[in-house]
């Protein structure tokens, strides 16, 4: 499945190569398979390769307070005078369309929300066949003799539904311990009777990391004590959806000289009384493994 991507292999791509969905870019919902519905693209510009001059220029412009814009060409690219054309005027690369301005959510974090079939004016099959490709730039992206100011190219794979996944999972599917990751849980899909219909404050999780020296680090010593650690409570997003964002290395307070090789999590209730008060499977990520 295209969505499962090895971040390490992506770093080996040459200059100017298209970078697939990884820790630089996430989406909400994370497992997006219906291009007729709304998609929120979340970009962390600090994760782009700062050894590239055009990325350095982009990051400097953002740090100085300039707005950033999405510039997109797949699954389709609008032409002037379409209201969603990438750039306007006689030098469009220097004059991004205000309609494509991104929202700054936090330092280095920018978002853009669209419904692919409506935004690109194509059908769902065209989106599945071509995915969604874009880059991020300030209003004036340089060019025309000036240094470029832009991200590397990004591709968000969009696949039709193939198999039903577990209600709880980590996103992205591949990451290293310094990446921002999300634990996602759809309680509406829960099959364990004791875990169904959780209240807004009802989803907690046990968390363990295996380190490079084969030792393990737990946030709570065991499932019975999870409720004593506020950082193990998931945030409620409505309609049965719970999420928790964290950077594994910081979350588990990993000592210098060691790294995380495996993360093991499971969703449970705050008060753990046995099997019926947790999901029936572990959410496991093997970092750097196929």
Burial 212-232 (b: 16+ CB within 10 A, else e): eeeeebebbeebeebbebeeb
> Cα–Cα distance between 92 and 180 in angstroms, integer?
34
Specify if 78 maps to a domain: yes
Q: What is the mean pLDDT of each run of 10 residues along the chain (290 residues)?
A: 30 30 77 90 93 96 97 96 96 97 95 96 89 96 92 88 79 84 94 96 98 96 96 96 94 95 97 91 80
Q: What is the pTM of this model?
A: 0.54
Q: What is the pLDDT of residue 33?
A: 85
Tally of domains within the chain: 2
Q: Domain check: are 14 and 122 in the same one?
A: yes
DSSP 8-class letter at 40: E
Q: In what order do the strands lie in the sheet with 68-74?
A: 19-20, 154-156, 132-138, 68-74
Cα-to-chain-centroid distance, residue 122: 24
Q: Which CATH number goes with the domain that contains 230?
A: 2.60.40
Say if residue 109 is in the same domain as residue 179.
Answer: no
Residues 127 and 179 in one domain: no
Domain boundary among 110, 127, 156: 156
What pLDDT does 219 receive?
96
**End of a domain among 105, 128, 156?**
156
Examine the domain organization and report whether 79 and 203 are in the same domain: no
Structure tokens at 133: 């490709």
Residue 81 sits in the same domain as residue 200? no
Whether residue 76 is found in the same domain as residue 109: yes
Residues 143 and 175 in one domain: no
Is residue 1 included in any domain, yes or no?
no
Is 282 part of any domain?
yes
Q: Under a CB-based contact definition with an 8 Å cutoff, are residues 59 and 45 in contact? A: yes
Backbone angles phi, psi at 45, to 5 degrees: -70, -15
Contact of 33 with 160, CB cutoff 8 Å:
yes
Looking at the fold, whether 189 and 119 belong to one and the same domain comes out as no
The pLDDT, as a whole number, for residue 37 is 94
Q: Are residues 111 and 178 in the same domain?
A: no
Structural domain including 27 reads: 7-156
């Amino acid at each position: 499945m295209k969505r499962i991507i090895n971040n390490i292999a992506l770093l080996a791509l040459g200059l100017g190569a298209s970078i697939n969905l990884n820790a630089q870019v996430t989406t909400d919902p994370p497992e997006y398979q219906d291009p007729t519905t709304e998609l929120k693209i979340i970009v962390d510009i600090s994760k782009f390769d700062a050894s590239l001059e055009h990325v350095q220029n982009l990051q400097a412009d953002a740090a100085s307070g300039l707005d950033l814009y999405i510039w997109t060409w797949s699954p389709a690219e609008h032409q002037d005078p379409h209201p969603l054309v990438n750039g306007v005027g006689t030098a469009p690369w220097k004059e991004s369309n205000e309609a494509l301005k991104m929202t700054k959510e936090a330092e280095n974090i920018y978002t853009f929300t669209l419904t692919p079939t409506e935004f690109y004016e194509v059908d769902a099959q065209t989106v599945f066949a071509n995915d969604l490709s874009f880059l991020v730039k300030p209003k004036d992206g340089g060019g025309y003799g000036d240094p470029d100011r832009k991200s590397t190219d990004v591709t968000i794979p969009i696949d039709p539904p193939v198999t039903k996944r577990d209600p709880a999972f980590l996103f992205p599917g591949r990451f290293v311990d310094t990446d921002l990751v999300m634990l996602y849980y759809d309680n509406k899909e829960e099959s364990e009777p004791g875990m169904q219909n959780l209240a807004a404050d009802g989803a907690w999780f046990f968390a363990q990391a295996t380190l490079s020296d084969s030792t393990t680090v737990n946030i709570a010593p065991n499932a019975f004590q999870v409720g004593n650690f506020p950082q193990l409570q998931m945030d409620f997003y409505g309609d049965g959806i719970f999420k928790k964002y964290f950077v594994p290395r910081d979350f588990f307070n990993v000592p210098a000289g060691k790294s995380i090789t495996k993360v093991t999590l499971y969703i449970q209730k705050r008060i753990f009384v046995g099997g019926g008060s947790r999901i029936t499977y572990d959410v496991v990520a093997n970092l750097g493994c196929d």
